Homo-oligomer: A and B are copies of this chain.
């Protein structure tokens, strides 16, 4: 499959949601969905990395739950008219300016 732009993915989700009467959820329900999906991702991470590990673990479950969280985030962004690509560039720009000395650059260590 040819790689698609993030904007194309947001439109794909919009076309999917647009088929249904229910449409996007109101903002607080979107948050509740995000909390639900984060909880499910959390459960899978515990199964794989927790100190009481599950005997049989399906590593693909983390990918599935991440996909659900990402889908919900895209829905919320679409409902708010936010381009996630712009939102991400804003973050990266903040890191390259305001937070640029927050972490240790690899070349900086001279111990």
Contact = CB atoms under 8 A, between A and B. Distances in A.
A84 B73 CA distance: 12
Task: Sort chain A's interface into a size bin.
Answer: 35 or more
Contacts of A32: 28, 31-32, 42-43, 45-46, 50
Contacts of A73: 66, 69-70, 73
Copies of this subunit:
4
A66 B77 contact: yes
Nearest to A3: B5
B63 A90 contact: yes
A110 interface: no
A39 B34 CA distance: 8
16 contacts: A3-B85, A4-B6, A19-B105, A20-B103, A22-B104, A27-B48, A36-B46, A38-B39, A39-B42, A52-B103, A62-B80, A63-B90, A64-B91, A66-B76, A66-B80, A70-B87
